[in-house]
């Protein structure tokens, strides 16, 4: 699943990124710490617009500290710091 979505982000462009972002708002916090989902989280951060990044970061803001303490989540948090 995550791999196919990452591929769609690369091949389908901004509209796909927006659709994936919106469909996943309820699970991005979990994806941050998932062994495979964290790659999708990082990829979507790269592909969405700055205003969409604000939406995404707000949706996971309550989980950032815990994610930073997780082996996979720390990579997600690093990407947030890098891009935001």
Q: Please give the Cα distance from 72 to 50 (Å, whole number).
A: 23
What's the pLDDT at 21?
A: 95
φ, ψ at 47 (rounded to 5°)? -95, -20
What's the pLDDT at 27?
A: 94
pLDDT in tens, the chain (84 residues): 788 999 999 999 899 999 999 999 999 999 999 999 999 999 999 999 999 999 999 999 999 999 999 999 999 999 999 998
Largest CA distance in the chain: 33
CA 33 vs CA 15, 19, 48, 78: distances in Å: 25, 21, 20, 12
Residue 33 and residue 67 in contact, taking contact as beta carbons nearer than 8 Å: yes
């Amino acid at each position: 699943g995550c791999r196919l979505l990452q591929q769609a982000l690369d091949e389908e462009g901004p509209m796909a990124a927006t659709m994936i972002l919106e469909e996943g708002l309820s699970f991005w916090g979990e994806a941050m710490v998932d062994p495979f989902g964290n790659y999708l989280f990082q990829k979507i951060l790269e592909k969405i617009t700055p205003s969409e990044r604000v939406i995404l970061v707000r949706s996971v803001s309550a989980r950032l500290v815990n994610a930073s303490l997780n082996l996979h989540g720390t990579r997600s948090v690093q990407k947030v710091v890098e891009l935001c």
